């Protein structure tokens, strides 16, 4: 039997680990790998037009499947382009392996054409990054990298010189053949008794949950019922916490609504579960704070914590629930839910189409999308205003998914993530909520949609501005500058790329255009000309922010409707 090459063994090892796709852009230093993939039907090469897209797409694949996803870049500039997307994957804690091709091994250190040092470049956005410089290192180094990405939920990188990939492998088979372990982590018996006593003796309790609550919806709802506690969620917890939840108050933070903020500020005890929410100003100063997290290093990282417990949400709550007493007073819950109903009515009012309105409000676009999208749709959203509209107006139901660059905060993430979502979920509807700035940054990968025959629906919120940046400038009391975008006709560009391209210029065109796109059998783009001057205020406004808006608008402030002026004296409308 002929010997396998190192590249062939690499692909064998990926397949043995359950990898079905490799996202990337071909290059000569990757020839051994792409040739090995070409000759088999149990793994696919997913071609994209930019390596950053490959990394974002792999991250979306890993996020949705829960399994290891792989991206690859050719030597030098090719794998440098992976870095931003890999930062997002790493900070979002999804298991991704990056193959960073390297120059010929004999030339490393000589300043050769396209030479970089991946083991240094990727150090800050990976748990593991090693150069394979000898054939004897394969598959062991690759398997260590994969196990690290899976077990630590993040990025691992192997750098492989193109010539080493073409050498005969010493080993002939993968070495690891066990399924991914599924351990449960729980506080000790004594810690559980302490936690139960704290909760049983506290009065006004608010629960604040995040992405760490995934897979523990039933336990979380039962906990809230036992404690008569409202539940506030962080953005990454929306898809896991919001649905079928009679205790939900929505989201807090800069993109949230007032009810979540007030429930946290007015509680006696805040129970933080599975979130590393970074904005310290949204945590209460006087409440007792209890935190449960699978990662002990996150306890107390964002605010003072009185009691910290290490455990995964489902295992911990399952052990805790039998120890909790029933019959806790529900006054705090009732007051919080009433506040939520009022805040929600206000948001819904902003999302309605108004007779005679000539502007398309982005809130209305998001609400229409929510109504028309499939019950198991996957949404991706660009950083900035599309994230705001997705957070406030897309409803989760336990089947829908929502992806974004919610921690790394990169522009241009939505389209690449939609590609990974669609390729890994061929039968589901995938919708990208793209900003005009974000789409333009990686617009070349509209071509990938056509080439891959990926029926992604791209909704472009076109306001000809970096709108969220403008808002930040206004809040700082300065005139907006360098935020204007001289945009093309995105619908025509989509048509030139082989997509269905549509434009909605007036409110009455929004629903029919989005309906047509969603029903189209193939990729489609809808360019929606939304009103630029929409205000997206956080649930509370600091004196510094009021001062900033005052300087910009003199003694006036744009309302949430975007076309009315209200006096600063009415600022409490937003509290």
Let me know whether 410 and 514 are in one domain: yes
CA distance 417 to 23: 12
Q: In Å, what is the CA distance from 530 to each residue of 156, 402, 526? A: 40, 22, 12
Let me know whether 114 and 204 are in one domain: no
Let me know whether 145 and 229 are in one domain: no
pLDDT for res 99: 98
Q: What is the pLDDT of residues 231-254, one digit of tens each?
A: 999 999 999 999 999 999 999 987
Note whether residue 153 is domain-resident. yes
Give the confidence band of 211 by pLDDT, cuts at 50, 70, 90.
very high
**Burial classification of residue 144, based on how many CB atoms lie within 10 Å of its CB (0-12 exposed, 13-18 middle, 19 or more buried):** middle
Say which range, 185-199, 496-510, 561-575, has the weakest mean pLDDT.
Answer: 561-575
Count of domains for the chain? 3
Let me know whether 319 and 408 are in one domain: no
Let me know whether 496 and 367 are in one domain: yes
pLDDT for res 1: 58
Domain boundary among 290, 305, 340: 340
pLDDT for res 544: 53
Domain boundary among 340, 367, 390: 340
pLDDT for res 546: 43
Note whether residue 131 is domain-resident. yes
Note whether residue 417 is domain-resident. yes
Let me know whether 252 and 322 are in one domain: yes
Note whether residue 242 is domain-resident. yes
End-to-end CA distance of the chain: 73
Mean pLDDT of 258-272: 95
Mapped onto helix, strand or coil, the DSSP state of residue 288 is strand
Is pLDDT above 60 for 536?
Answer: no
Give the confidence band of 354 by pLDDT, cuts at 50, 70, 90.
confident
Q: Which of 417, 340, 413 is nearest to 382 (CA)?
A: 413
Mean pLDDT of 71-75: 98
Note whether residue 275 is domain-resident. yes
Query: What is the rounded (10 degree) CA torsion for 235, 236, 238, 239?
Result: 150
Q: What is the pLDDT of residues 402-427, one digit of tens each?
A: 999 999 999 999 999 999 999 999 99
CATH number at residue 243: 3.40.50.1220
Mean pLDDT of 525-537: 82
Let me know whether 493 and 382 are in one domain: yes
**Percent of the chain having pLDDT more than 70?**
93
Q: What is the pLDDT of residues 104-136, one digit of tens each?
A: 999 999 999 999 999 999 999 999 999 999 999
- Exposure letters 481-506 (e unless 16+ CB within 10 A, then b): eebeeebeebbebbeebebbbbbbee
Mean pLDDT of 344-365: 85
Give the confidence band of 177 by pLDDT, cuts at 50, 70, 90.
confident
Let me know whether 78 and 161 are in one domain: yes
Let me know whether 332 and 197 are in one domain: yes
Note whether residue 566 is domain-resident. no
Domain with 119 in it: 6-166
Note whether residue 171 is domain-resident. no
pLDDT for res 432: 98
pLDDT for res 171: 93
Active site residues: 51, 113-114, 383, 468
Let me know whether 201 and 159 are in one domain: no
Note whether residue 413 is domain-resident. yes
Let me know whether 18 and 159 are in one domain: yes
Q: Which of 228, 488, 481 is nearest to 332 (CA)?
A: 228
Contact 488, 392 (CB under 8 A): no
CATH number at residue 477: 3.40.50.970
Domain boundary among 287, 314, 340: 340
Give the confidence band of 476 by pLDDT, cuts at 50, 70, 90.
confident
Give the confidence band of 336 by pLDDT, cuts at 50, 70, 90.
very high
User: Token pair of 33, please?
Assistant: 């790998």
Mean pLDDT of 334-344: 94
CA distance 137 to 178: 20
pLDDT for res 542: 52
Average pLDDT, the chain: 91
Q: Hey, which residues does 526 pair with through a beta bridge?
A: 459, 502
Let me know whether 275 and 310 are in one domain: yes
Give the confidence band of 347 by pLDDT, cuts at 50, 70, 90.
confident
């Amino acid at each position: 039997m002929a010997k396998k090459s190192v590249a062939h063994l690499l692909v064998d090892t990926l397949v043995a680990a359950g990898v079905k796709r490799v996202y990337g852009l071909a290059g000569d230093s990757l020839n051994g790998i792409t040739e090995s993939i070409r000759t088999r039907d149990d793994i696919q090469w997913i071609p994209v037009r930019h390596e950053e897209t490959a990394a974002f797409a792999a991250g979306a694949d890993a996020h949705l499947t829960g399994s290891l996803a792989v991206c690859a870049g050719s030597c030098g500039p090719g794998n440098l382009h992976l870095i931003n997307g890999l930062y997002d994957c790493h900070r979002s804690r999804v298991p991704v392996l990056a193959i960073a091709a390297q120059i010929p091994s004999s030339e490393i250190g000589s300043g050769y054409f396209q030479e970089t040092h991946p083991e240094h470049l990727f150090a800050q956005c990976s748990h593991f990054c090693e150069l394979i410089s000898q054939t004897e290192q394969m598959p062991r180094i690759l398997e260590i990298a994969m196990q690290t990405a899976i077990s630590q939920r993040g990025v691992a990188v192997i750098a492989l010189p193109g010539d080493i990939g073409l050498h005969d492998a010493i080993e002939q088979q993968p070495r690891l053949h066990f399924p991914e372990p599924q351990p449960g982590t729980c506080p000790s018996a004594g810690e559980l008794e302490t936690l139960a006593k704290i909760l049983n003796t506290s009065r006004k309790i608010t629960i604040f949950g995040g992405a760490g609550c995934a897979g523990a919806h039933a336990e979380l709802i039962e906990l809230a019922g036992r404690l008569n506690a409202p539940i506030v969620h962080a953005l990454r917890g929306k898809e896991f916490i919001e649905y079928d939840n009679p205790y939900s108050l929505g989201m807090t933070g800069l993109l949230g609504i007032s009810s979540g903020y007030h429930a946290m500020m007015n509680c006696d005890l805040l129970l933080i579960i599975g979130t590393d929410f970074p904005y310290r100003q949204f945590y209460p100063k006087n409440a007792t704070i209890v935190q449960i997290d699978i990662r002990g290093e996150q306890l107390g990282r964002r605010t003072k914590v009185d009691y910290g417990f290490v455990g995964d949400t489902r295992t911990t709550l399952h052990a805790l629930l039998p120890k909790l007493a029933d019959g806790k007073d529900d006054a705090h819950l009732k007051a919080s839910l009433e506040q939520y109903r009022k805040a929600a009515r206000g948001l819904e009012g902003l999302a309605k189409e108004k007779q005679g309105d000539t502007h398309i409000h982005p809130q209305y676009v998001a609400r229409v999308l929510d109504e028309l999208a499939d019950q198991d749709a996957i949404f991706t959203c660009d950083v900035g205003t599309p994230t705001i509209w997705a957070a406030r107006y897309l409803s989760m139901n336990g089947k829908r998914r929502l992806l974004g660059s919610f921690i790394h905060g990169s522009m241009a993430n939505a389209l690449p993530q939609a590609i990974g979502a669609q390729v890994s979920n061929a039968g589901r509807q995938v919708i990208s909520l793209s900003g005009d700035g974000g789409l333009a940054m990686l617009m070349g990968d509209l071509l990938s949609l056509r080439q891959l025959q990926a029926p992604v629906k791209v909704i472009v919120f076109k306001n000809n501005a970096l709108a969220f940046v403008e808002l930040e400038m206004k809040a700082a009391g300065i005139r907006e500058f360098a935020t204007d975008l001289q945009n093309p006709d995105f619908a025509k560009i989509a048509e030139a790329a082989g997509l269905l391209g549509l434009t909605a210029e007036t409110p009455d065109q929004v629903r029919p255009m989005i309906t047509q796109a969603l029903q189209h059998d193939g990729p489609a783009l809808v360019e929606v000309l939304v009103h630029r001057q929409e205000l997206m205020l956080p649930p509370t406004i600091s004196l510094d922010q009021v001062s900033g808006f005052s300087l910009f608008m003199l003694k006036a402030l744009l309302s949430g409707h975007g076309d009315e002026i209200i006096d600063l004296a009415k600022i409490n409308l937003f509290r």
